[in-house]
Structure 1
Amino acid sequence: MRKLFPLFALLLLSISSKAQNIQQLIDQKAKALLPKVIEWRRHIHQNPELGNREYKTMEYIAAHLKSLGLEVTTGVAKTGVVAILKGGKPGSVVALRADIDGLPILERTNVPYKSTVMADYLGQQVPVMHACGHDTHVAILMGTAEVLASMKKDVPGTVKFIFQPAEEGPPGTEEGGAALMVKEGVMENPKVDAIFGLHISADTEIGKITYKSGAFMASSDWFTIKVKGKGAHGSAPWTGIDPIMISAQIINGLQTIVSRSSDLTKAPVVITVGKFNGGVRENIIPEEVTFSGTIRTLDSKMQKEVHEKIKHTAKTIAEAYGATAEVVIDTKTLVTYNTPALVTNTLPSLQRAAGNENTVEETWTTGAEDFSYFGEKAPAFFFNLGGMPKGAKSTSHHTPDFLIDDSMLDVGVKAFCNIVFDYGKVKK
């Protein structure tokens, strides 16, 4: 029996040495590839496309993936790309996701690769910009695919690369985004055992990774409330039923759902009215007013409760004044929930990519992500990657001044590659 101990020790040493070699190789390849990752990112930034219209972006991504010898499918959920890498070792099916769409925003930065693209959005010509960093997500995943393809014989299991369109929401009444990808079977054939995604953060310094177990990002619902009253002359409001005044009372009432009837010790709730349409002339009380907004919750039960409270509040306030209120609520995303066990098991992968001191747990956010739909089908983990220049002030996402430092995108590539080698070894 004692003779077996040295053999066992040698086996452990060999396994440890192999793992170290893999880690060093990932680090070396990711660093060497960084200039190309930056080049891809800046090309995509200069040529943004809106959701469900990312045709050139789709072609650009697919051409690269095909050059790596991957199994590539295009046109998934209209303009998405899915690629399969079958590793040389047995293991799990790991999915990695990047979103690819831009936003209808006029870029105001002075970078040499600034976007000047114009496109049609619901019949209107609008400027287009990658004002949320999806260009970096695409480049990171393209780089990850190249590194893993070059290490194919050592890759455990199967890797599914998902390049998702329309994360910001499809135009008008079109279907799109993660929900449509799931509907079309992207989490099947082969069935995904776990899915991972990242988001660049303009509030986090480059080189850092932030994460949270459990609820991480909010659900997003859009609501529209139509208040019907009775028109009248502005000089004699008592002859009508004023839907503008009633709508103002409803808007105030919606805020009491947050401040007086939601358990904010459990999770945050946000109700914001962002659009108001009513009236055509100063001295005419209109018959009808419509206003719209968004709801953010971080608990699925609270999400349903808030929906019911909004309907009840709007309808009862309207009835109190002799009007009627119609409420329509459209769920855009679910709560982005990071599977706790998966977070715990994946943390070492992130720490090796960014360093222990640069891998930081944070609180939840009321921003939303349709990555949540993938989490309905498999354990999921979504984390943030720093994009703020060192010593600089952050810029807000979804604004003309949004700016990302892309000099350390290799940290994202290393994180994804580490995840594949670590989680992929889990046999299913």
Structure 2
Amino acid sequence: MIKKLYPLIFSLFSIGAFAQTPAMRAAVSKKADAMEKKVIAWRRDFHEHPELGNHEVRTADIVAKHLQSLGIEVKTGVAHTGVVGILKGGKPGPVVALRADMDGLPVTERVNIPFASKVKTMYNGNEVGVMAACGHDSHVAILMGVAEILASMKADLHGTVKFIFQPAEEGPPVGEDGGAELMVKEGVLENPKVDVIFGLHINSQTEVGKIGYRPGGTMAAVNDMQIIVKGRSAHGAYPWSSIDPIVVSAQIINNLQTIVSRNLDVTQNGAVVTIGAINGGNRSNIIPEKVEMLGTLRALSTADEKMLIERVKQIATKTAEANGATAEVKIPYSNHYPVTYNDPALTAKMLPTLQATAGTENVLLRPAATGAEDFSFFEQKVPGLFFFLGGMPKGGDPLKAPSHHTPDFYIDESGFTLGVKAMCNLTLEYMTSKTK
């Protein structure tokens, strides 16, 4: 029902949208243009020195010192390595949170740029390269720029800005807590209590100068899963003496594919059920006793997420039972992110701001993505808007542009200034709307 209301909600807000003073918007634009080189320099430094989740020590130190130099109250060590800055404006008003994630990935960079990462570290017992292969380096640099601009306008701010520099968005190390979930548990949205939160993500397959947004479910909930099928071992020459967990696992995998095709209303949302690893046995002529499968579930609504989990458990256990075996299912196995859900009313309210900043023709309604984001933990607690910033060179082909999480991931830095302007204007215009 709410989907049918989106056009009406957006129309009403667009007709009666609040307006930030042209002078203030012009001031933001001028300041952002003037500091473009500084933002790019920050990004290049972070890109050359990436750090994995919960280990962003150098990055956090640079961020904290920059915020302190602006006269912003700073708290460090939040959720291990997170940094939170509080800027109290000269006038009363709401508390607006702005978030940037800081961590890199265990990826060895192949991009031929002067500031390419050469960093290596240990990850899960192996030496790996480290790369800012999802653009988090640009998020940090952009929010540092936003902090500098808003700090320079402190006397005119109608409220408080909370800058959240978050570790471990890509997931904490095995056996550790981290990321947005831990920040929320530690009270990052309290003292002062946050009214609304904004975040952005650079996108290597969206052209520079463009912004993508979506109300409602914009990125998927994700659950990883483990399925252990237990049967009875036997000599490979005498399979009738076994309860073969490999055969049972094959049946389970095939049956799981019917969830999306037969249980999901595909006219409303998409979903993913993927088995990414299957391990069982160690010799050609021995039927093993058990098989382990690892996989991922992704859904764009809470109801669909619940349905996927229930159906996976039912299919796995009943298929195993039908074959005389047993199946143990753990969902989530090690991590879970909720749906990244953009509050529809807030999205409608702020859409004119994004359009005024980038140009109406450059602000695009995008389809939902089956990737996941732990920004969702913030949005579970307060209304939020998470949008996408173009980072692909103009005229590029989205189908050929290297995707995120790959060694060839590349971002055009000329799009950063738009990100700075958008985050500043969202903050200022939301504050203005609450003081009328």
TM-score (norm. length: structure 1): 0.94
Among candidates 217, 220, 231, match of residue 215 of structure 1 = 217
Match among 413, 417, 420 for residue 424 of structure 2: 417
Residues in 1 aligned to 2:128 and 2:288: alpha-carbon distance in whole angstroms = 31
Residue 381 of structure 2 is aligned to residue 382 of structure 1:
no
Structure 1 gap ranges (5+):
1-14
Give the aligned partner of residue 192 of structure 1.
194
Deviation at 1:326? 0.2
SS in 1 for 2:53: coil
Q: Structure 2 CA distance, aligned partners of 1:156 and 1:26?
A: 16
Give the drift of 1:261: 1.7
Q: Deviations over 1:365-411 (max 9, x none)?
A: 11110100101111110000000011223211111111110112010
Q: In the alignment, what sits opposite 2:396? A: 392
The secondary structure found in structure 1 opposite 2:257 is: helix
Q: Give me the whole-angstrom Cα distance separating, in 1, the residues matched to 2:336 and 2:45.
A: 29
Give the deviation of 1:318 after TM superposition: 0.6
* TM-score, normalising length: structure 2: 0.93
Asked if the contact 2:197–2:379 (Cα under 8 Å) also holds between the matched residues in 1, the reply is: yes
Quote the offset at 1:258 in angstroms: 1.1
Task: Using the TM superposition, give the Cα deviation of residue 266 of structure 1 relative to its aligned residue in structure 2, in angstroms.
Answer: 2.2
Correspondence 1:345 to 2:345:
no
Distance 2:407 2:235 in 1: 42
Partner SS, residue 371 of structure 2: strand
Q: Match for residue 204 of structure 1?
A: 206
Aligned to 1:9: none
Is contact 2:389–2:415 with CA below 8 Å preserved after alignment?
Answer: no
Letter in 2 for 1:422: E
State how 1:241-260 maps to structure 2 within 5 Å.
241-260=243-262
> What amino acid maps onto 1:200 in structure 2?
I
1:329-340 aligned within 5 A: 329-330=331-332, 331-340=335-344
Tell me if structure 2 keeps the 8 A contact 1:92–1:425.
Answer: no
- 1:115/1:129 contact within 8 Å kept: yes
Farther off after superposition, 257-266 or 367-376? 257-266
Deviations 1:342-379 (A, max 9, x none): 11111122122211111111111111101001011111
Matches of residues 221-370 of structure 1 in structure 2 within 5 Å?
221-330=223-332, 331-370=335-374
C-alpha distance in 2 between matches for 1:106 and 1:222 = 24
Q: Which runs of 5+ in 2 are unaligned?
A: 1-17
Which range moves more in the overlay, 209-218 or 255-264? Answer: 255-264
In terms of mean alpha carbon deviation, does 37-46 or 114-123 score higher? 114-123
SS of match in other structure, 2:375: helix
Instruction: State the alpha-carbon separation in 1 of the partners of residues 228 and 324 from structure 2.
Output: 14
Which secondary structure state, in structure 2, belongs to the residue aligned with residue 369 of structure 1? coil
Contact 1:270–1:296 (CA under 8 A) maintained in structure 2: yes
After the TM superposition, which of the residue ranges 353-362 and 184-193 deviates more from structure 2?
Answer: 353-362
Give the distance between the partners of 1:348 and 1:30, measured in 2 at CA.
Answer: 19
Residue type of the alignment partner of 1:424: M
1:123 maps to which of 122, 125, 129: 125
- Deviation of 1:124 after TM superposition, in Å, equals 2.1
Paired residues, number:
413
Paired AA for residue 232 in structure 1: A
Give the letter for the 2:420 counterpart.
V
Partner in structure 2 of residue 10 of structure 1: none
Matched, 1:405 2:412: yes
Give the secondary-structure state (helix, strand or coil) at the position aligned to 2:284.
Answer: coil
Contact 2:402 2:408 in 1 (8 A): yes
Q: How far apart in 2 are the matches of 1:418 and 1:306?
A: 39
Structure 1 segments of 4+ aligned residues over 3 angstroms from their partners: none
Residue type matched to 2:257 in 1?
A: Q
CA distance in 1, matches of 2:340, 2:80: 23
CA shift, 1:50, in A, is 0.7
Q: Distance in 2 between matches of 1:328 and 1:71?
A: 42
Q: Counterpart in 2 of 1:6?
A: none
Tell me the CA shift for residue 279 of structure 1: 1.1
Amino acid at match of 2:131: M
Q: For 1:303 and 1:166, locate their aligned partners in 2 and report how far apart those are by CA, in whole Å.
A: 23
Q: Which of these two proteins has the greater Rg computed from alpha carbons?
A: 1
1:220-263 Cα deviation digits (max 9, x unpaired): 10000000111111121111111111111101111011111222
The 8 Å contact of residues 169 and 332 in structure 1, kept in 2 or not, is answered as no
Provide the rounded CA distance (Å) in 2 between the counterparts of 1:199 and 1:131.
Answer: 12
Q: What's 1:145 paired with?
A: 147
* Alpha-carbon distance in structure 2 between the residues aligned to 1:388 and 1:408: 9
What is the identity, as a one-letter code, of the residue corresponding to 1:267? N
Give the SS at the match of 1:407.
helix
CA deviation profile, 1:171-206 (whole Å, cap 9, x unmatched): 112111110000000000000000000000111000
Partner of 2:60: 58
Partner of 1:366, secondary structure, is coil
SS at match of 1:179: helix
In 2, Cα distance between equivalents of 1:42 and 1:272: 36
- Following superposition, the deviation at residue 61 of structure 1 comes to 0.9
Q: State whether residues 155 and 420 of structure 1, in contact with CA within 8 Å, keep that contact through their aligned partners in structure 2.
A: no
